Amino acid sequence: MSQPTIELVWQTREPALDAARGAVRRGMISLRLLPVWTEWKADDALKPRRLKCDPAGPRMYVNGHLAWTSERGWGDDVALARAIAELRERASRSGPRDPLSRRFKYVVLPSAALALVPKCPLCWIAYASITTAFGLAPLAARRAVLTALTLMLIVAAGAVIWRSIQLHASGPAWTVSAGTVLILFDAHTQGSTTIAYLGLCTVFGAAVWSAWPQSGGEIRRVARPQGTTW
Amino acid sequence: MPDLAPVRARVWSLFLSPSPPQRRRFTAAAAAGRVESPVRIFSTFNDAHVEHALQIAAEFFRIADAALPEDALTAVLDRFEALRDTENPDLLDYALMVFITHHPRGAALTHAIPPLTLRNPELVAPSRAGNEEVSVRKSLSFARWAGMAGTASAVATPFAGGATPSDGLEWYREDPFANEHHSHWHVVYPTRGIPNPANPSQPIFKDRQGEIFFYMHQQMLARYDAERLALGLPRVVPLANYRTPVAVGYNPGQILLEQGFGARAAGVPMADIPGDPTTQPPTPPYLVSEHETRRNNLRTAIAARAYTIVNPPLPMTDVSRVGATVEANGAGIGAVAGAAARTHYGSLHNNGHGTLSVASTDGPGVMTTTATAIRDPVFYEWHKHVDDFYAAFQDGGTPQSFADRPPVKIRKAFDPASRAASSPDILFVFEDQLPATALTNLDAWAETSFGGPQWDTDFTASPQVTSALETAMVQRQLTLADHITTVPIEHLTHRPFVYVCRVDNPSSRPVAITLRVFIAPVIETGGHLASDDRRAWIEMDKFVVRLAAGEKKVAARRGAQSSVIKKPGLMRPETLKELGIEFTAQQLASMSGAGLPAALAARLQPFTGRVVGLSVIAALFSNAEWNIVGPLLGQFARIVPTEQPQRPPQTDSVDDLEQQEASNYCTCGWPYNLLVPRGTPAGVPFRIAVFCTDWQIDQVGGDESCGSLSFCGARDRYPDRRPMGYPFDAPFADPITDVVMANASMAFRDFIIRRIPDVTADD
């Protein structure tokens, strides 16, 4: 079985700290483990959040799990060694962490989302509008940013409207116009955030609608140049 | 493309011209009024003397700049020789060394300066040289010493100098290489700055000069304290009360007395420095009361963390300015705030050397000059007081937070019952126990031996490693400048070793770390362990280790690569047994004249100045088969080069001079033979601590094959952005043990330093 990761978290220099160190050391030696451990002080900015401190005294974690607190005292070497052994055994049974759920959460989902979202040119403009619109209010250069936002929205809306005209479908045009009005209204009047989000969602929806493949529509494309790829 | 070899040979010879007769000639000429120079006995702690020396150095700079590149060095040496009749010889030597050390063209001559043991052997002669060794001089000095000391014990051993009462630490204070280090360091960092190469009349100061002044001396104190504790003596007490009689006296020994130095009797306090009416303008006396006033002004400033003499008070934020102010006020607040500030805070450190040096009788004490100052026990008391200003400034700062530490891990443990620190990741291995191929690829050997599948193995009890470092005292003969008289001399050495440190990078990104290695004695003193005091920690090394994401790396480093020592650090105790005599370039020339074949002389040339076994010299003259010398030299070529000049750079091209600049600093650094404290035959407990810091923040750089990065820095900038001595440069929020335990990027372990039986030349 591998060497467990033992962590001792303490808040202040107190008599119990040395007692805890002694107990941890004896416990590891009794289990024929290399008597080494990691300590964290409660106010350490780099201390992992999973490790909680206790004003009552040090706490011991084994492989990330709470194994012992000061409430139980640091005099019972046998029980403490048993606690280390149990958590160490549990870790060896459960195998390594970083399970499939973690990979699904951090790799598969974002990848799938990225693969599924529309990637039309107008969509990128819409994404940029949405992602950059957050947090604009407190900016010092608000006036300039608002102007830029207005221009970008007009360009984006104009593009959607132009495509709608080409496809003879007025739905996206009206939708994007409404969304633009909502965003600009909120931006210039500092109204409700809800209105802004509603406007953003409307623009986004209009962009997707506009980019969606049309069964009957015809778009004249420029002939693809020979020897090049898209 | 001129040949620099003759110029180097000339410099070597100029420095080797015996100093004692030169000093006598100059003193006689000065007494007869034939010399205009006001400097009678040159003191590197006397601001006026240093100013004068730097004016001469500046003249050398100008001469070198004005001459054609191929003539520059010759022109400087011509001027040097012309000044010999009118300037103090020690002052002139100092000026030439400043030129060689700091001028771009002078750098080509770096290795042409003989070591102090050859240049001025009298100054490193042991104070306890017996009367049989100096019998020629005995009759001249007995009356002086006996009459001055006037105590029964001194009369009983009239020629035994050293501390009175003796503390058994003469070997450390009088170590010739430590004295050379101190002397050379003050050439690298003159208190009044160095001539600006762009405008020699204008002095400039080196990067962080005041801070390195504080730090280098603080480290000397930490080492001295460790030696004292090992002998059961208390740590040095600062000489903060200037009226207190200095309990321990110092007699520099017969040979130094003859050089004009005086002995400082025990129980004598520091004294007023008399004025000199012969100078223009007359130099006023410097009173101890004035000294006290300046001390108090500095204390007030540091307590207030502001230079209160300046209106409005200038905040005290730069440790380097504090150091420069305390040292000599050259680059200190005096340089910023003008004469008033210079007078208000004075030149406390330098004048302390002066007031203590005049407390001697029959001549200035050894405290008067950098080549001899550290021989006197009062040097350490005085510098502990100076260091108190450094510590007070540091203590007034913010405690270390270590929030910027890298995400690496070194395993360790602490036993609260025995107070013992342990770590399976910090190991020592003796070099002589390494496989033959290990030294050529240390990292690969370390990885194979301690990494991979053996990562979790605890080697601390393995015969592969050692839990005790070993040292030994070596005795040999020092040849004085007359090339006839020899005196026994002893110095410390140690068994070469390798550090091994296992570092884990569990993070998902590669990191480069600076590994900072310190040691401290684990000895009870004043109710606590010395290792609990941040000022007791001795820097041993500092180097960069790069780890890939998730890598578990075994870093290995030879002690001889230490960032604090003068390079190269090579020493083999077993060969030290065979040390015999030294031979110089002049002696080599004599041997050539006596029939030594030219080809062999050429082979010997690189080894001039080295310590060579008697058997080699005997072989040179007795064996017709000269070719046996080759293998012998191969054997001896590795002997104690810390004291010896290195082989001059191979290039002789003037065009390459700029490239040689960096090698200048190879001559600066703590002596390798003193890297490891001496310990005792029973063993002295020490603790080694390793601190990892983020190299991206530190940016420790520079040529690691060259001089001491820690004590001398690099040519332009100190190669570490953190304060010197980090992390011991500031108070810790918790006891040191707790801080190390609570930081994964730090570790410590206890070990022993054991002194093995003495080695003598006769063994």
pLDDT of A62 reads 95
Q: Residue B29's pLDDT band (boundaries 50, 70, 90)?
A: confident
Count interface pairs A-B at CB distance under 8 A.
48
Q: Is the pLDDT of residue B708 over 80?
A: no
Check B734 against A41: CB less than 8 A apart. yes
- CB contacts of B742 in chain A (<8 Å) are 10, 39-41, 44
B741 at interface of A, judged by CB pairs closer than 8 A:
yes
Check B742 against A10: CB less than 8 A apart. yes
Q: Point out the residues of chain A with pLDDT beneath 50.
A: 216-230
A17 at interface of B, judged by CB pairs closer than 8 A:
yes
pLDDT of B130 reads 52
| Residue with more model confidence, B763 or B500 | B500
pLDDT of B18 reads 64
Query: Under a CB-based contact definition with an 8 Å cutoff, are residues B180 and B302 in contact?
Result: no
pLDDT of A180 reads 87
Based on the fold, state whether residues B745 and B648 are members of the same structural domain: no
pLDDT of B643 reads 33
Q: What number of other Cβ atoms are within 10 A of residue A76's Cβ?
A: 14
Q: Is the pLDDT of residue B656 over 70?
A: no
pLDDT of A172 reads 85
The 10s digit of each residue's pLDDT in B186-199 is 999 998 899 998 89
The one-character DSSP state at B330 is S
Check A46 against B412: CB less than 8 A apart. no
The one-character DSSP state at B79 is H
Q: What is the distance between the alpha carbons of residues B208 and B565, in angstroms, rounded to a whole number?
A: 19
Sign of CA dihedral B522, B525, B529, B535: negative
Based on the fold, state whether residues B352 and B496 are members of the same structural domain: no
Give A185's contacts (C-beta < 8 A, 6+ positions apart): A191, A195, A199
pLDDT of B397 reads 93
pLDDT of B137 reads 37
B669 phi-psi bin (left φ>0, alpha ψ -120 to 50, beta other): left
Average pLDDT in the B530-552 region? 95
Give B551's contacts (C-beta < 8 A, 6+ positions apart): B504, B505, B510
Residue B153 lies in a domain: no
| Residue with more model confidence, B129 or A208 | A208
Q: Give me the number of domains chain B comprises.
A: 4
Q: What is the distance between the alpha carbons of residues A88 and A82, in angstroms, rounded to a whole number?
A: 10
Pairing status of strand B486-494 against strand B524-525: unpaired
Tokens for B473, please give them.
Answer: 């005292």
Rounded to two decimals, the ipTM of the complex is 0.77
Sign of CA dihedral B11, B13, B19, B22: negative
User: Which residue of chain A has the CA closest to B410?
Assistant: A38
The 10s digit of each residue's pLDDT in B440-493 is 889 999 999 999 999 999 999 999 999 999 988 877 778 787 777 778 888 888
Average pLDDT in the B655-663 region? 44
State phi, psi for B393 to the nearest 5 degrees.
-65, -45
Residue B11 lies in a domain: yes
Check A39 against B742: CB less than 8 A apart. yes
Average pLDDT in the B487-500 region? 87
pLDDT of A211 reads 77
pLDDT of B487 reads 83
Which DSSP helix (H) or strand (E) runs through B385? helix B377-395
Q: Residue B701's pLDDT band (boundaries 50, 70, 90)?
A: low
Check B742 against A19: CB less than 8 A apart. no
C-alpha distance across the termini of chain A, in Å: 55
Residue B208's alpha-carbon distances to B301, B347, B348, B714, B715, in angstroms, are: 20, 18, 19, 11, 12
Q: What number of other Cβ atoms are within 10 A of residue B10's Cβ?
A: 18
pLDDT of A140 reads 55
Q: What is the distance between the alpha carbons of residues B231 and B353, in angstroms, rounded to a whole number?
A: 27
As beta bridge partners, residue B611 has B582
A204 at interface of B, judged by CB pairs closer than 8 A:
no
State phi, psi for B300 to the nearest 5 degrees.
-60, -45
**HEC string for B536-598:** HCEEEEEEEEEECCCCEEEEEEEHHHCCCECCCCCCCHHHHCCCCEECCHHHHHHHHHCCCCH
Mean pLDDT of chain B: 82
Q: What is the distance between the alpha carbons of residues B306 and B315, in angstroms, rounded to a whole number?
A: 4
pLDDT of B709 reads 65
Which DSSP helix (H) or strand (E) runs through B163? strand B162-164
- CB contacts of B407 in chain A (<8 Å) are 46
Q: What is the distance between the alpha carbons of residues A42 and B742, in angstroms, rounded to a whole number?
A: 10
Q: What is the distance between the alpha carbons of residues B651 and B599, in angstroms, rounded to a whole number?
A: 21
Helix (H/G/I), strand (E/B), else coil: B741: helix
Most A CBs within 10 Å, among B414, B459, B732, B734, to test the A interface: B414
Q: Is the pLDDT of residue B315 over 60?
A: yes
Based on the fold, state whether residues B691 and B744 are members of the same structural domain: yes
Query: Under a CB-based contact definition with an 8 Å cutoff, are residues B110 and B11 in contact?
Result: no
Check A37 against B422: CB less than 8 A apart. no
pLDDT of B629 reads 34
Q: State the burial class of residue B211 (Cβ atoms within 10 Å of its Cβ: 0-12, 13-18, 19+).
A: buried
Based on the fold, state whether residues B389 and B278 are members of the same structural domain: yes
Residue B282 lies in a domain: yes
- Give the pTM: 0.77
Residue B694 lies in a domain: yes
Q: Is the pLDDT of residue B246 over 90?
A: yes
Sign of CA dihedral B617, B618, B622, B624: negative
- CB contacts of A60 in chain B (<8 Å) are none
Contacts of residues A71-77 at CB distance under 8 Å and 24 or more positions apart, as own/partner, are A74/A16, A74/A19, A74/A20, A74/A22, A74/A23, A75/A19, A75/A23, A77/A23, A77/A26, A77/A27, A77/A30
Check B411 against A45: CB less than 8 A apart. no
Nearest to B50 by CA among B64, B39, B63: B39
Query: Which one of B93, B122, B151 terminates a domain?
Result: B122
Residue B405 lies in a domain: no
B411 at interface of A, judged by CB pairs closer than 8 A:
yes
Which DSSP helix (H) or strand (E) runs through A140? none
| Residue with more model confidence, B456 or B140 | B456
Helix (H/G/I), strand (E/B), else coil: B659: helix
Lowest mean pLDDT among B124-133, B321-330, B642-651: B642-651
Based on the fold, state whether residues B305 and B443 are members of the same structural domain: no
Choose the closest CB to B403 out of A3, A37, A45. A45
Q: Is the pLDDT of residue B641 over 50?
A: no
- CB contacts of B409 in chain A (<8 Å) are 38
Check B415 against A25: CB less than 8 A apart. yes
Q: Residue B514's pLDDT band (boundaries 50, 70, 90)?
A: very high
- CB contacts of B404 in chain A (<8 Å) are none
Q: What number of other Cβ atoms are within 10 A of residue B508's Cβ?
A: 8
Query: Which one of B395, B424, B448 terminates a domain?
Result: B395
Upper half-sphere CA count for residue B673 (Cβ side, 13 Å): 26
Give B180's contacts (C-beta < 8 A, 6+ positions apart): B115, B116, B117, B124, B371, B643, B671
Q: Is the pLDDT of residue B43 over 80?
A: yes
Interface subset of B 511-540, CB within 8 angstroms of A: none
Q: What number of other Cβ atoms are within 10 A of residue A174's Cβ?
A: 13
A78 at interface of B, judged by CB pairs closer than 8 A:
no
Check B416 against A22: CB less than 8 A apart. yes
Residue B353's alpha-carbon distances to B49, B327, B532, in angstroms, are: 14, 11, 31
CATH code: domain of residue B295: 1.10.1280.10
How far away is chain A from the Cα of B297, in angstroms, using its nearest Cα?
Answer: 37
- CB contacts of A44 in chain B (<8 Å) are 403, 742
| Residue with more model confidence, B634 or B1 | B1
pLDDT of B402 reads 94
- CB contacts of A40 in chain B (<8 Å) are 742
A46 at interface of B, judged by CB pairs closer than 8 A:
yes
Nearest to B550 by CA among B408, B410, B388: B408
A26 at interface of B, judged by CB pairs closer than 8 A:
no
Average pLDDT in the B759-763 region? 43
| Residue with more model confidence, B354 or B481 | B354
The 10s digit of each residue's pLDDT in B388-447 is 999 999 999 999 999 999 999 999 999 999 999 999 999 999 988 888 788 788 999 999
Q: What number of other Cβ atoms are within 10 A of residue B582's Cβ?
A: 23
Q: Residue B75's pLDDT band (boundaries 50, 70, 90)?
A: very high
The residue range of the domain holding B601 is: 573-667
Residue B498 lies in a domain: yes
Based on the fold, state whether residues B618 and B713 are members of the same structural domain: no
CATH code: domain of residue B531: 2.60.40.1520
Check B738 against A2: CB less than 8 A apart. no
Chain centroid to CA B706: how far? 15
Lowest mean pLDDT among A211-215, B19-23, B525-529: A211-215
- CB contacts of A35 in chain B (<8 Å) are 413, 422
Check B742 against A21: CB less than 8 A apart. no
Q: What number of other Cβ atoms are within 10 A of residue B70's Cβ?
A: 13
User: Which residue of chain B has the CA closest to A11?
Assistant: B742
User: Which residue of chain B has the CA closest to A43?
Assistant: B401
Q: Is the pLDDT of residue B8 over 90?
A: no
Give B275's contacts (C-beta < 8 A, 6+ positions apart): B282, B283, B284, B285, B286
Query: Which one of B645, B667, B689 terminates a domain?
Result: B667
Give the percent of chain B with pLDDT over 70: 79
Check A38 against B409: CB less than 8 A apart. yes
Q: What is the distance between the alpha carbons of residues B729 and B718, in angstroms, rounded to a whole number?
A: 16
Check B416 against A36: CB less than 8 A apart. no
Q: Is the pLDDT of residue B138 over 60?
A: no
Choose the closest CB to A39 out of B405, B423, B741. B741
Most A CBs within 10 Å, among B511, B532, B743, B749, to test the A interface: B743
B749 at interface of A, judged by CB pairs closer than 8 A:
no
Q: State the burial class of residue B58 (Cβ atoms within 10 Å of its Cβ: 0-12, 13-18, 19+).
A: buried
Q: State the burial class of residue B279 (Cβ atoms within 10 Å of its Cβ: 0-12, 13-18, 19+).
A: exposed
Residue B158 lies in a domain: no
Pairing status of strand B314-315 against strand B249-251: unpaired
B404 at interface of A, judged by CB pairs closer than 8 A:
no
Most A CBs within 10 Å, among B402, B427, B738, B739, to test the A interface: B738
Residue in the block written with tokens 């830029």? A148
Q: What is the distance between the alpha carbons of residues B308 and B341, in angstroms, rounded to a whole number?
A: 9
A39 at interface of B, judged by CB pairs closer than 8 A:
yes
How far away is chain A from the Cα of B571, in angstroms, using its nearest Cα?
Answer: 36
pLDDT of B695 reads 92
Residue B400 lies in a domain: no
Based on the fold, state whether residues B551 and B578 are members of the same structural domain: no
Angle between helices B377-395 and B348-357 (to 10 degrees): 160
Based on the fold, state whether residues B342 and B225 are members of the same structural domain: yes
Q: Is the pLDDT of residue B625 over 80?
A: no
How far away is chain B from the Cα of A32, in angstroms, using its nearest Cα?
Answer: 11
pLDDT of B135 reads 38
Query: Under a CB-based contact definition with an 8 Å cutoff, are residues B426 and B410 in contact?
Result: yes
Query: Under a CB-based contact definition with an 8 Å cutoff, are residues B61 and B79 in contact?
Result: no
In chain A, domain spans:
6-94, 114-211
Q: Is the pLDDT of residue B362 over 60?
A: yes
As beta bridge partners, residue B204 has B194
How far away is chain A from the Cα of B746, in angstroms, using its nearest Cα?
Answer: 10
